[in-house]
Chain A
Amino acid sequence: MIDRRTVEQIARLARLELDEERVVKLTDELSRILAHIDKLEELDVTDVPPLTHGTGGADVYRADVAGPVLDRDDALRNAPDQADGLFRVPRVIGDA
């Protein structure tokens, strides 16, 4: 189960701004989804290791050599706002 306070807290962590209607709806939907997910508790997994690699292979290494990279203009081309070859962002701290 998940309550509305938790939903609001998770939204802050996820950087999402939820209005009242969405908080109510998500609280209900996530509760029902988690009720289904709670089926996992039927299993005793104490001695089962987590599967952390898709195909269980060894690490794959590459030579530590610099390759071609995007040039600055290409990297900035999709930026919503830019100036002087840099990403421009709104004020981070303090009043305008």
Chain B
Amino acid sequence: MQAFPAVATIAQDVRNGGRSARSFTDDALARIDAHGEALGAFLHVDVDGARAHADEVDRRAAGGDDLPLAGVPIALKDNLCTNGVPTTCGSRILSRFIPPYDATVVARLRAAGAVIVAKTNLDEFAMGSSNENSAFGPVRNPWDLARAPGGSSGGSAAAVAAGLVPVALGSDTGGSIRQPAALTGTVGLKPTYGRVSRYGLVAFGSSLDQIGPLSRNVEDAARVLAVIAGGDPRDATCSNDPVPDVVAGLEDGVDGLRVGLPREYFDDAIGDGVKTLVRRAANRLATAGATLIDVSLPHTSYGIPAYYIVATSEASSNLSRYDGIHYGHRTKDAADLAETYERSRTEGFGAEVRRRIMLGTFALASGYYDAYYDRAMRVRTLIRRDFEEAFEQVDVILSPTSPTPAFKLGEKTSDPLEMYLADVLTVTANLAGVPGLVVPEGLCDHDGARLPVGVQLMGPLWSEARLLQVGRWLERTREEAISIPEGAAS
């Protein structure tokens, strides 16, 4: 299967009348129909809605509307609210929920001419690192169907990696865009906290969540970010500062760039295959005029414990809204209101969501708050300071994304703590609020398979343009092509 053209090419074609939005949409729908089920990547395919919207885009384009994403088929993680289109969050509790409004990012994509073709599978409420916590079954990695695509945006990553859609949106609370991007050989961007409105994103950890693109190349991610970023009166945490042009400087190269290599991200827990490819990317930067500088982020090992207190505390609060009354699943078997709450929630939430609600409720409970939540929020400050000090010396940080390439389905499901540790290299960016971009660097032999490895670039707050510029250079100079894996089209 051939990859879709670049987003800019699709949009130009549609605006010029060279090829219709409807034709690109039908192409995506046919690919999804042929290969989506084997991957488990989609929870809903909006065939009629997508076609109707594509026709409307064609009319707008013919009328001369300047649509930056004209006719670009896009899939959305199923925790993004879509007006009139089911949004399940991978949970039984929302299995019949149909939002009466669009998330801000969805409205902006539609206005820009993008065509939403499908909603993608995810770990329930975005809680997981393998996509095995979905109530509707796991997603398979297109590079090896016995392996996980990562999570929680696993369906979006698998769909893009397999070439079924050119771009997708995910959300990232502790690595949920970047880790699946790394494990599927795709580009994934977690913007700075506050760069993209969270209105209409089903809340998990409100001080950590960000929406961002997954794509096959860096420029496509930049073009999607340009559409979805920017202030929104419906999200008070979204910055009203003007968003710099993230496309103009993409080809500006890396001469003179100061690149930090954080020593804590290259320790013994990180696989050799991963380290080798990250070092290869670093060496290439050095030969092109960048300076490599050893830096330290000394509180890295406190990231996972702090993250799992902050994220679960916020989740326990956010998920208290699922009461079986206003929307979502209601038990058939309750004598009074209290039982309605308890049984609806117990029947509706899966094991990992219950576990995290319990942990978060514990951390916020009277008598434990100071020892857990308050302490974790102070450690968060230390992690933020680590980054601030590092960024006094360097422009960007280059690191691995995931300790290993894609692991097998079922490999980590018996021990929740082991799954949590998969996020060790990504949670710190969320705790500090800084942006992170993952770009595939190549393939490595791991555990009997040939699997992609993605490098992670992190930068100061609001430095997306710089990250994309460096990511684009790494992509342009990459020694191996990252094509659509053959297994995906089987």
Q: Which residues of A contact B (CB under 8 A)?
A: 2, 6-7, 10-11, 13-18, 22, 26, 29-30, 32-34, 36-43, 45, 48-57, 59-60, 62, 70, 74-75, 77-81, 87, 89-93, 96
Q: Which residues of B contact A (CB under 8 A)?
A: 96-98, 100-101, 192-194, 207-208, 231, 233, 236-240, 299, 301-302, 304-306, 308-309, 316, 320, 323-330, 334-343, 345-346, 349, 354-355, 357-359, 361-362, 365, 372, 374-382, 384, 416-417, 420, 431, 433, 461
Known interface pairs A32-B417, A39-B305; A92-B336 also in contact (CB < 8 Å): yes
A87: which B residues are within 8 A, CB to CB?
325-326
- Looking at chain B's contact residues, is the secondary structure mostly helix, strand, loop, or mixed? helix
In the bound complex, how far is the Cα of B305 from the Cα of A39, in angstroms?
7
From B240, B343, B382, contact of A17 by CB (8 A): B343
In the bound complex, how far is the Cα of B243 from the Cα of A21, in angstroms?
52
In the bound complex, how far is the Cα of B207 from the Cα of A56, in angstroms?
11
CB distance from A30 to the nearest CB of B (A): 6
Ordered nearest first, which 6 A-B pairs have the shortest CB separation?
A: A50-B377, A80-B330, A78-B327, A54-B193, A45-B378, A74-B100
**Which A residue sits closest to B340, measured CB to CB?**
A90
Please state if A26 and B302 are interface contacts (CB–CB under 8 Å). Answer: no
B101: which A residues are within 8 A, CB to CB?
70
Known interface pairs A43-B302, A55-B433, A90-B336; A80-B358 also in contact (CB < 8 Å): no
CB distance from B343 to the nearest CB of A (A): 6
Please state if B302 and A60 are interface contacts (CB–CB under 8 Å). Answer: no
Known interface pairs A10-B362, A14-B357; A91-B337 also in contact (CB < 8 Å): yes
A11: which B residues are within 8 A, CB to CB?
358
In the bound complex, how far is the Cα of B193 from the Cα of A49, in angstroms?
20
A60: which B residues are within 8 A, CB to CB?
231, 236-240
Known interface pairs A2-B362, A26-B355, A33-B420; A55-B236 also in contact (CB < 8 Å): no
Q: List 9 A-B contacts (CB under 8 A).
A: A15-B338, A22-B354, A26-B358, A41-B375, A51-B380, A80-B324, A91-B337, A92-B337, A96-B335
Please state if B357 and A78 are interface contacts (CB–CB under 8 Å). Answer: no
Q: Chain B CB within 10 Å — which of A38, A42, A51, A53 has the most?
A: A51
CB distance from A72 to the nearest CB of B (A): 11
CB distance from B370 to the nearest CB of A (A): 11
**Which B residue sits closest to A29, measured CB to CB?**
B416
Please state if A62 and B233 are interface contacts (CB–CB under 8 Å). Answer: yes
Please state if A50 and B380 are interface contacts (CB–CB under 8 Å). Answer: yes
